[in-house]
Structure 1
Amino acid sequence: MMTRVDPIESLSAGRDRRDRAIVIGAGLGGLAAAMRLGAKGYRVTVIDRLDVPGGRGSAIRQDGHRFDLGPTIVTVPQLYRELWAACGRDFDEDVELRALDPFYEIRWPDGTKFVAQQDTAKLRAEVAKLAPGDVAGFDRFLDDSARRYWFGFEDLGRRSMHRLLDLIKVLPTFARLRADRSVYAHAASRVKDEKLRMALSFHPLFIGGDPLHVTSMYILVAYLEKEFGVHYAMGGIAGMAEAMGRVITDQGGTLLMETEVDEIVIRDGVTTGVRLASGLEMGADVVVSNADAGHTYDRLLRNHKRRRWTSKRLARTRYSMSLFVWYFGTKGTRNDWSDVGHHTILNGPRYKGLLKDIFIRGRLCDDMSLYVHRPSVTDPSVAPEGDDSFYVLSPVPHLGHDNGVDWATEEPRYKEKMLKVLEDQLLPGLRDKISTEVVFTPETFRDRYLSPFGAGFSIEPRILQSAWFRPHNVSEEAKGLYLVGAGTHPGAGVPGVISTAEVLSQLVPDPEVVR
């Protein structure tokens, strides 16, 4: 249980604001930032408009089911162990990770399957079964992925890129690794089979990117998964977020839930705190925004003249696609659908055409590709005994396209189409088994998370929206203002979000320096 604190009491208690830090947003980036600041000695207050921590990584509990709302897997587990260790804690004492192997199964409408897994021999056998002539090319792709991981994640992804000189220094490496090439184009340069190209290039969709346009640096995910595995946090990502909240409160910090920040207060170029929607002002020496970067600059700094991230510039920014997510519980199905594991990806009849409709044309199509999460096969606590909890996600256009979708009309239609795909390809008889449900549309992402255009993953990680080109972790707009989260460097995806807090800790001075 998280401590609820009355804003007035918190404000009164904080009149002496020395060493105070405020984190706007209790998403995973904000929680990790608060942990890092607490470890430095700051007295941290995390403020969030939701009633539970976790942001997109929170959960809804309904009719005995727990629905994890956003991220469902844990990769690069050493990041979390390092985060906990920086706070003098043991991650494995607070969170139980369960390794998943196989990672997920990819299915096509014609019945073809590809099982992603950690064992190299088994993985190569899957490639040989799908595309016998592409095994050598697949081996080269894995080598390519490893090089990009060590450069893109372990080097660039764990340090700040707010200085132009930092970008200039790495341009030769970007050129050598063909960062100008898209993820799909790189996969196509290594293998010929279109299904295998999809299996090697779809990963940017997990972080809101178009595989046809996102920089090929993101093929690093293939190495990341294979080298460190894919894990599930027992209790879900929401349970991990609650564990992060406990670390913060144990450090003396406060989680101020069901409270909205209306504005970041800047006086004479220095960040002095925040103003709540209630009108109350809270002072701090350091303010960190885990709100969407677009919301931070366009809304929270609306009364401050901005030098870099102006409204005009934000209007030119490309945001990720949005999501249609159907969460539902099923009655008495735990032993049904025995061939359906923890993670399944159902491909539609098109790949490149569907991507163009979602990202470029902004069209809601009749066909769809689905990500199906069935955590009850690993974690029985997500549903009543004998039942299942499901999460089915379809990428859809965000709300910013000229031909915007009327979701009030389309929600029931789209859900019906999704149901047909599920019954035909994965879960026969599903309609009669559903006992409870929740639906998120792009409008939910806009209203619940204050995400511009209802984007599911903030700013799209294209080459000219990455590294130095992405919103920096230290803001140019005012002294004492910092940003973390999916829309900042190093970018989207849970490992990237956690890394933004590591970068932050390198930039924020120790409390005695602030004094």
Structure 2
Amino acid sequence: MKQQSRNAVIVGAGPGGLAAALLLAKSGVKVTVVEKRGQVGGRTSTMEQDGFKFDIGPTFFLYPQVLKEIFSAAGYDLAAEVPMTRLDPQYRLVFGAGGELLATPNVERMEKAIAAISPEDAKRFHEFLTHNRTKLAKFLPFLQSPFESWRDLAKPEMLKLLPLLAPWRSLDGDLQSHFKDERIRLGFSFQSKYLGMSPFRCPSLFSILSFLEYEHGVFHPTGGCGSVTRVMARMCREMGVEILLNEPVERVLIEKGKAIGVKTANHSLPADAVVVNADFAGAMKRLVPNRLRNKWTDEKLAKKRYSCSTFMMYLGIDGRYDDVSHHTIYLAKNYRQNLRDIEELHRLSETPSFYVQNACVTDATLAPAGQSTLYVLLPVTHDAGMIDWAEEAPRYREIAIDQMEKIGITGLRERIRTEKIVTPSGWASEFDLYKGSTFSMAHSLGQMLHLRPHNRFEDIDQMYLVGGGTHPGSGLPVIFESARITSRLLLEDLRMEPQWDAAATAGNAIPRETLVGVAS
């Protein structure tokens, strides 16, 4: 380890903050991570209740290559540190309009599954993969680079990509060139929920999300996604990073337009650089006075578009539903109206779409013997002042349980032994998410690339951002990529060289043989 002559404070021990801590510590920066909660991970952490363990937020672990490279850069091996199971089938899709699809990374079996619903569309699956393989390969260098002005967008190599990226088309519009049956298109576009957006509004670029699942796999880390951040925190400490828990930051210390540290209830921590790994809008309103922000004032933040929120149920139950897949997504017959209720009308749907993780069919470590966990997510509007969740939560709980019968989860009420419900109000109060938006600012064209908050924060010098609120955006692999971008910019400003091996960050997808195996 190099002698630590410069220091950085990272606000928040979420996945982006921990990844940045690893990279900066490897490069000789003395790093302190300050976390308001009593455990690391932020929303990528584990909730334990009555012997049951639940991921609080992300449950899909996608494209592990980015994290594999970060682990390697820090001198660790992801496969050895975090055992994972590649799922096959990846998930089950149940269509309210009729039919279902067991999504598998096996191309031949997937074609047969699609053919059972739409024979013509099955013939186009290979074409979809080929098209998006090219799209990802050509756009990946831009996802790995900072976008700090329109000039980055106007580079000749970026302009050449416009016909391929087709930013004027929605995700659903792009998929219409491959698939005619709307159910099949929904099967390749529901992933826009990772961005908190409708496929009918989400930019066409994000067809690469479903492609990543089929090309590189959907994984379950043993112990859940929260186990990943726990391991990262252990690695950070082994590399000399100090992690302060139960230490909420009151404000960023700013002098002459520069961040010079942070103030908590117990400490003033000076720093050469401050990295904020928290919900962007909420953090700005709490940590930086409005008068010191020009581009991102409270007034401007209020005018931005924000993602949907989620109504969550974490259920510990007797027995297991062995016939229910690890991941199941139910897409309501009135899917378009569901989305309109969420994005435009800010009201609750009476027959909502939903997602259930039944993780114990893969990972028995999450529940006591003879019992299991269910993680239930219903996309709902962010807090627009239209819903009183204190009144609506009990009613919506009953709707959710009734809806789950449509995927084979029957007799549930009698089997529940412990539960926790989180509403948009809970996301706002427990996790300081602005408007309870669980996916931060929406990924619309006007809020992407250089129009998203920059990794090198525009309004305050020596202040940097990581996480879903900055470029490149939401989703674990993208958040890890934001940590790499931000770490390079910070080191550049400190006139320090990144001390991670370029060869370690130039590999291909993580080899299947290094993982635990394939769950079926």
TM-score after normalising by structure 1: 0.92
**Distance (whole Å) between structure 2 residues aligned to residue 31 and residue 509 of structure 1:** 16
Is residue 97–residue 332 contact of structure 2 (8 Å, CA) maintained in 1? no
**Distance (whole Å) between structure 2 residues aligned to residue 306 and residue 391 of structure 1:** 39
Aligned equivalent of 2:392, options 405, 410, 415? 410
1:340 matched to 2:328: no
1:249 matched to 2:237: yes
Residue 93 of structure 2 corresponds to which residue in structure 1?
106
Residue 239 of structure 1 corresponds to which residue in structure 2?
227
Aligned equivalent of 2:255, options 255, 267, 272? 267
1:139 matched to 2:126: yes
**Aligned-residue offset at 1:140:** 3.1
**Distance (whole Å) between structure 2 residues aligned to residue 464 and residue 79 of structure 1:** 26
**Aligned-residue offset at 1:137:** 3.5
- Aligned amino acid, residue 165 of structure 1: R
Is residue 328–residue 435 contact of structure 1 (8 Å, CA) maintained in 2? yes
3-state secondary structure, aligned to 1:410: helix
Deviations 1:237-281 (A, max 9, x none): 1111110001110111111111111211110122100111x2642
- Aligned amino acid, residue 100 of structure 2: K
3-state secondary structure, aligned to 1:57: coil
1:498 matched to 2:486: no
1:202 matched to 2:186: no
3-state secondary structure, aligned to 1:130: coil
Residue 427 of structure 1 corresponds to which residue in structure 2?
409
Tell me how large the CA RMSD over aligned residues is: 1.8
Is residue 262–residue 275 contact of structure 1 (8 Å, CA) maintained in 2? yes
- Aligned amino acid, residue 102 of structure 1: P
**Distance (whole Å) between structure 2 residues aligned to residue 110 and residue 431 of structure 1:** 26
Aligned equivalent of 1:226, options 204, 210, 214? 214
1:22-421 alignment, distance < 5 Å: 22-109=9-96, 112-152=99-139, 154-169=140-155, 170-276=158-264, 278=265, 280-302=267-289, 304-331=291-318, 333-334=319-320, 337-399=321-383, 401-402=384-385, 404-421=386-403
Aligned equivalent of 2:424, options 435, 442, 446? 442
- Aligned amino acid, residue 203 of structure 2: T
- Aligned amino acid, residue 468 of structure 1: H
**Distance (whole Å) between structure 1 residues aligned to residue 202 and residue 151 of structure 2:** 23
Deviations 1:13-36 (A, max 9, x none): xxxx95111111111111111111
- Aligned amino acid, residue 85 of structure 1: S
Is residue 324–residue 407 contact of structure 2 (8 Å, CA) maintained in 1? no
3-state secondary structure, aligned to 1:189: coil
3-state secondary structure, aligned to 1:53: coil
**Aligned-residue offset at 1:142:** 2.4
3-state secondary structure, aligned to 1:231: strand
**Distance (whole Å) between structure 2 residues aligned to residue 424 and residue 167 of structure 1:** 45
User: Quick one: structure 1 residues 494 and 369, their matched pair in 2 at CA, closer, same or farther if it must change by over 3 Å?
Assistant: same
**Aligned-residue offset at 1:136:** 3.4
Residue 463 of structure 2 corresponds to which residue in structure 1?
481
Is residue 11–residue 35 contact of structure 2 (8 Å, CA) maintained in 1? yes
Is residue 272–residue 285 contact of structure 1 (8 Å, CA) maintained in 2? yes
User: Quick one: structure 1 residues 101 and 429, their matched pair in 2 at CA, closer, same or farther if it must change by over 3 Å?
Assistant: same
3-state secondary structure, aligned to 2:188: helix
User: Quick one: structure 1 residues 197 and 43, their matched pair in 2 at CA, closer, same or farther if it must change by over 3 Å?
Assistant: same
Is residue 40–residue 511 contact of structure 1 (8 Å, CA) maintained in 2? no
- Aligned amino acid, residue 470 of structure 1: R
3-state secondary structure, aligned to 1:118: coil
- Aligned amino acid, residue 472 of structure 2: P
3-state secondary structure, aligned to 2:58: coil
Deviations 1:393-444 (A, max 9, x none): 0000000x25x21000000000000111113442111111111101110011
- Aligned amino acid, residue 361 of structure 1: L
**Aligned-residue offset at 1:175:** 4.3
**Distance (whole Å) between structure 2 residues aligned to residue 95 and residue 510 of structure 1:** 31
**Aligned-residue offset at 1:508:** 1.2
TM-score after normalising by structure 2: 0.91
Residue 7 of structure 1 corresponds to which residue in structure 2?
none
**Distance (whole Å) between structure 2 residues aligned to residue 141 and residue 122 of structure 1:** 15
**Distance (whole Å) between structure 2 residues aligned to residue 433 and residue 25 of structure 1:** 37
**Distance (whole Å) between structure 2 residues aligned to residue 196 and residue 249 of structure 1:** 46
3-state secondary structure, aligned to 1:61: strand
Is residue 111–residue 123 contact of structure 2 (8 Å, CA) maintained in 1? no
Is residue 40–residue 510 contact of structure 1 (8 Å, CA) maintained in 2? no
**Distance (whole Å) between structure 1 residues aligned to residue 32 and residue 46 of structure 2:** 22
Residue 517 of structure 2 corresponds to which residue in structure 1?
none
3-state secondary structure, aligned to 2:262: strand
**Distance (whole Å) between structure 2 residues aligned to residue 85 and residue 478 of structure 1:** 32
User: Quick one: structure 1 residues 33 and 304, their matched pair in 2 at CA, closer, same or farther if it must change by over 3 Å?
Assistant: farther
**Distance (whole Å) between structure 1 residues aligned to residue 496 and residue 279 of structure 2:** 26
**Distance (whole Å) between structure 2 residues aligned to residue 137 and residue 514 of structure 1:** 49
Unpaired runs of 5+ in structure 2?
498-520
Q: Percent identity?
A: 34
Is residue 143–residue 472 contact of structure 2 (8 Å, CA) maintained in 1? yes
**Distance (whole Å) between structure 2 residues aligned to residue 221 and residue 273 of structure 1:** 37
1:446-461 alignment, distance < 5 Å: 446-461=428-443
Deviations 1:170-199 (A, max 9, x none): 244234421221111112232221211211
**Distance (whole Å) between structure 1 residues aligned to residue 409 and residue 189 of structure 2:** 26
**Aligned-residue offset at 1:66:** 0.3
**Aligned-residue offset at 1:511:** 9.0
**Distance (whole Å) between structure 1 residues aligned to residue 471 and residue 493 of structure 2:** 24
**Aligned-residue offset at 1:110:** 5.8
**Aligned-residue offset at 1:222:** 2.2
Is residue 170–residue 200 contact of structure 2 (8 Å, CA) maintained in 1? yes
User: Quick one: structure 1 residues 227 and 424, their matched pair in 2 at CA, closer, same or farther if it must change by over 3 Å?
Assistant: closer
1:508 matched to 2:490: yes
